[in-house]
């Protein structure tokens, strides 16, 4: 698909970052252009970092799972924009079945923009607020199926429906649904059968005949409606359960500046592969999240950097990667907030490495797999209030079920989001590998160290950073010219003395200097 993968919001953010670098460079007394000759002592003079290389993808995203539209709009201005997030992924915005579980949002009744997360007007106001903050809105689009309810009912906005009848939208009599006849009850029974995966029903969900013009036109109208409200992109839910050409046909109707990423859950020995969907645009890399969990848990942190050379990796500019999402934190296939220090180390590696478009996940505490967010007596999700102080590094929150965790605000997470915005597409440099530890830079823009040992570590490490005093953005931010966390000094020869507690990390970048 020939769409520009970088939303206008992200391009504006990159331009602002470049401007900040130039201003910062002018403020540094005695700075010389990169590559100047050494002074009389033989030590190169302090240099100004090169401009931030633009990433190939759409920047860093955050999934605010089951957040209301009002809450997202407020968060864009209060935190997401200032912290450096480029886009926010919302939960599905269409009318859905009634019920408390989180998955009710993934059972569409109609394409009306009325849900327990807010009204159409509230959705539009959210998009406008996020746009003002420089944060693009990406909507989770459920277009593979409708409901999985055998009994007739009414949706959130009062629309009547039956399993295969959605008045004014889809009808079984018009051939709008698949009835595969390949397995009992038409449900997928064998994932090694491409026909079953893409023609049968996923857990009884009425499977749309996305190969027909009639169905494609209705899906296209729904997406166009969201675009008319300012939506910049889409996550295509359950893309694996639609032929790649069907997804491509729908996406081809989007405007040139609208982008999408496709949810394709890769698995070995299955005929449907994530790479089949690359001609349509960006694709999720679920292998990465599983591998990240294994490597961090096993202490092989440096091998995370080798993942792009693995057989399951996608082209970096088309891969969407994450530590966890709403499905994997519940099925245990990846790490989650319950995994203490391993979880935060994985987030650091996700954001510090140079593979893919990263998505930070932000959800709520839960104990049962189906548990939904906190709702009022009428079933509407309550607005989000984040805790005033995030948990300490490595301490899994022990909050009651339904408590909003706001992982995207945790100091190490937000610090690495800003770090990634600062380093851009700078290459990995200055790699150091220790026992269950790794350190590496991204050119002269940033440097990160992760200690996966239970014991503390002390090392003298080589960086490509200009000499000076830097804030460790894992422990705190640069506020009014002072570090709220630890300070580290990069010597004239580029080395830095690192002392790290066990199971912790630090990160320095050119935009968080306490001396300039």
- Give the residue numbers annotated as catalytic, written as ranges: 237, 263
In sign, the C-alpha dihedral spanning 354, 358, 360, 366 is negative
Beta carbons within 8 Å of 228's beta carbon, 6+ residues apart: none
DSSP states of 43-106 as a string? SPPPBPPPPPPPPSS---EEEETT--HHHHHHHIIIIIHHHT--EEEEPP-S-B--SSSGGGGG
104 within 8 A of 154, measured Cβ to Cβ:
no
Helices and strands (H and E) in the chain: how many: 11, 22
What letter would DSSP give residue 254? S
Indicate the Cα dihedral angle 507, 431, 333, 387, nearest 10°.
Answer: 0
What would the DSSP string read from start to end of 3-38?
Answer: --SS-HHHHHHHHHHHHHHHHHHHTSTT-B-TTPPP
Contacts of 298 (CB under 8 A, 6+ apart): none
Looking at residue 345, the DSSP 8-state letter turns out to be H
CA 400 – CA 101 distance, rounded (Å): 17
Quick check: 351 and 343 in contact, CB under 8 A?
A: no
Cα separation, 189 vs 357, whole angstroms: 33
State the alpha helices, DSSP H only, in 299-432: 328-331, 340-352, 411-423
C-alpha neighbours within 13 Å on the C-beta side of residue 373: 22
Tokens, residue 107: 């059972």
Residue 473 contacts by C-beta under 8 Å, 6 or more apart in sequence? 415, 416, 418, 419, 485, 507, 508, 509, 512
Residue 181, C-beta contacts closer than 8 angstroms, at least 6 positions apart = none
C-alpha gyration radius of the chain: 24
Within 380-467, residue ranges assigned H as helices are 411-423
Pairing between β-strand 319-322 and β-strand 282-284 as defined by DSSP bridges:
parallel
CA atoms within 13 A on the CB side of 408: 33
């Amino acid at each position: 698909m020939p769409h520009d993968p970088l939303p206008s919001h992200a391009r504006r953010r990159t331009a602002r970052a470049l401007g900040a670098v130039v201003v910062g460079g002018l403020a540094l007394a005695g700075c010389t252009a990169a590559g100047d000759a050494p002074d009389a002592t033989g030590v190169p003079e302090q240099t100004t970092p090169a401009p931030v290389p633009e990433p190939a993808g759409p920047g860093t995203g955050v999934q605010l799972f089951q957040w209301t539209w009002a809450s997202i709009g407020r968060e864009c201005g209060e935190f997401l924009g200032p912290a450096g997030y480029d886009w926010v992924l919302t939960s599905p915005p269409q009318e859905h079945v009634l019920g408390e579980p989180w998955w009710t949002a993934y059972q569409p009744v109609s394409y009306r923009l009325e849900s327990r997360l807010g009204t159409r007007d509230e959705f539009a106001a959210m998009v406008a607020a996020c746009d003002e903050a420089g944060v693009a809105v990406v909507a989770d689009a459920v277009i593979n199926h409708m409901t999985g309810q055998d009994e007739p009912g009414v949706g959130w906005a009062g629309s009547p429906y039956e399993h295969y009848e959605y008045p004014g939208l889809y009808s079984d009599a018009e051939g709008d649904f698949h009835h595969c006849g390949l397995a009992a009850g038409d449900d997928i029974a064998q994932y090694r059968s491409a026909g079953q995966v893409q023609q049968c029903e996923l857990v009884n969900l009425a499977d749309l005949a996305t190969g027909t013009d009639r169905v494609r036109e209705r899906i296209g109208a729904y997406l166009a409606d969201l675009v008319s409200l300012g939506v910049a992109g889409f996550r295509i839910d359950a893309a694996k359960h639609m032929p790649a050409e069907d997804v491509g046909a729908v996406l081809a109707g989007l405007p040139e500046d609208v982008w999408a990423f496709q949810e394709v859950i890769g698995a070995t020995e299955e005929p449907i592969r994530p790479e089949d969907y690359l001609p349509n645009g960006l694709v999720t890399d679920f292998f990465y999240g599983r591998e990240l969990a294994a490597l961090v848990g096993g202490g092989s942190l440096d091998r995370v950097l080798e993942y792009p050379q693995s057989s399951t990796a996608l082209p970096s500019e088309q891969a969407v990667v994450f530590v966890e999402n709403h499905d994997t934190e519940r099925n245990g296939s990846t790490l989650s907030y319950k995994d203490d220090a391993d979880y935060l180390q994985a987030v650091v590696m996700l954001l510090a490495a140079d593979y893919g478009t990263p998505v930070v996940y932000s959800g709520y505490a839960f104990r049962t797999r189906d548990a939904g967010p906190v709702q009022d007596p009428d079933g509407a999700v309550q607005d989000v209030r984040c805790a005033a102080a995030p948990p300490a590094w490595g301490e899994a929150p022990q909050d009651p079920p339904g408590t909003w965790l706001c992982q995207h605000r945790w100091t190490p997470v937000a610090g690495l989001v800003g770090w990634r915005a600062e380093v851009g597409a700078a290459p990995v440099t200055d790699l150091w590998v220790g026992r269950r530890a790794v350190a590496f830079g991204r050119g002269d823009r940033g440097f990160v160290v992760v200690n996966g040992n239970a014991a503390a570590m002390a090392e003298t490490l080589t960086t490509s950073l200009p000499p000076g005093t830097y804030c460790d953005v894992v422990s705190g931010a640069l506020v009014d010219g002072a570090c709220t966390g630890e300070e580290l000094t990069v010597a004239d020869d580029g080395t830095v003395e690192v002392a790290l507690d066990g199971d912790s990390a630090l990160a320095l970048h050119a935009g968080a200097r306490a001396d300039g």
